[in-house]
Structure 1
Amino acid sequence: MKTLISIVAFSALLAAPATAQTWSSNAPKIGPVNQPEGLLIQAYPTSSNHCQAGYQPVVVGGVICCGKPNSAAPAPTQVSYTASCPAGTKGCS
C-alpha cells in the first residue's frame, strides 16, 4: 500500500507541470485594441510632456493620459456673471 501511494504521488508530481501548461495555453489570444469610432480625444495644453515619443497629453472622457489627439482643443471661454435681481430680493445671491 505504501508503495502504491508513493507511485501515485510521484506520477502526480511529474504530471503537474504538463497539466499547468495545458491549462494556461487555453487562455484567449488578445489582439490589438481598436479605437472606438466617434471617440473625442482632445489635446491637453501643458508646458511639459512626459509621454513616449510620438504621443502627447490628451483628454479622453475627462481623464488625462498619453495619446494622439483627433480633434482640436476648445478655446477657453470667459464667463462674466451679473446680478439678475435687485439687492435685497429674497432668493437672489
Structure 2
Amino acid sequence: IIYDFAKSDNAILSGVDNLTITPAGDVLVAEDGGNMQLIGITLNQNLIPIAQVVGHDRSEICGPAFDPSHNRLYFSSQRGETGSSQGGVIFEISRV
C-alpha cells in the first residue's frame, strides 16, 4: 500500500501508526493523533472510517486486533480523555 496524505483525494489518514489485516484482506489503520480514527483500506483502495474517538485529544488510537473468531475488533485510546498514561480506554466493536 502506498498512501500520500498530501496527494490523496480523500485525505483522512493524517497520523498513520498501527495496523491490522481483516480476514477479507482489508487493512485497518489506527491513527496516532490526527482525527483519532480507525480507518479501513479496502482491497479496491477505498478509505472507510470505521470508528472515531471524540474528546481524547491528547491520546492516540492503538493496538487494533481481532479476537480468534474475528467477531470482535478491539482497539485502545492510549491515554483516554485525561491524556494521562493511566487514562487509557479499550473499545470493542462486535458483529451483531
The interval holding the TM-score normalised by the smaller chain is under 0.3
The TM-score normalised by the length of structure 2 is 0.21
Choose between structure 1 and 2: higher strand proportion.
Answer: 2
Structure (1 or 2) with the larger CA radius of gyration: 1
Choose between structure 1 and 2: higher helix proportion.
Answer: 1
